[in-house]
Amino acid sequence: MDTWPYRLRWPPSTIIFDESPERVFQRAAQKLEDAGARIPRSCLFIHVPLESCDVQQPLCSKGLNGTRPSIWALQVLPVRTLVSFEEMLHVVSSLAMKGSLFIVQWMDQLFMRNRFKVETVSYSKVVMSLGEKPTLGDHKSILFVAEFA
């Protein structure tokens, strides 16, 4: 089990919402406690049971109101199709304000389930490997390589 959200130094008064099915949360909470992982005392941790398809209502009823920037850190993205991923982005965009971050370990898990090893690559490195000079400016696309393992 990955404990990275518990090891980060969150700013004081950060509210951390854990949205997961109740049975998954109970098992994970026990493993985290056994491992000694703790949320800083200056932060508030709130579990929101994910038993229905309505993601927005339970979060709002537990106090999320979108008046402060938020970090959406998803360890396992519960989507099976591109449409459900777009629905998740729609929910996040309706609850997040400018300056919020969306961090997902999705791509790697999607490919790893199908025995691919994934790595993100720099646009400039790809262009240079082809013997070309990279152009200046922002490159909006994220390139990745998926190698069948």
Domain ranges of the chain: 4-104, 114-149
Helix (H) or strand (E) holding 30: helix 22-35
Residue 21 DSSP label: -
**What is the per-residue pLDDT for 75?**
59
Mean pLDDT, to the nearest integer, of 52-78? 76
Q: What are 4's two structure tokens?
A: 């990275």
Rounded distance between C-alpha atoms, residue 23 and residue 51, angstroms: 10
Rounded to the nearest 10°, the torsion over CA 129, 135, 141, 146 is: 0
Predicted confidence at residue 105, as pLDDT, reads: 61
Residue 97, phi then psi, degrees to nearest 5: -110, 175
What is the structure's pLDDT at 77?
Answer: 54
What one-character DSSP code corresponds to residue 7? H
pTM of the model: 0.59
Mean of the pLDDT values across residues 87-111?
75
CB atoms within 10 A of CB 64: 19
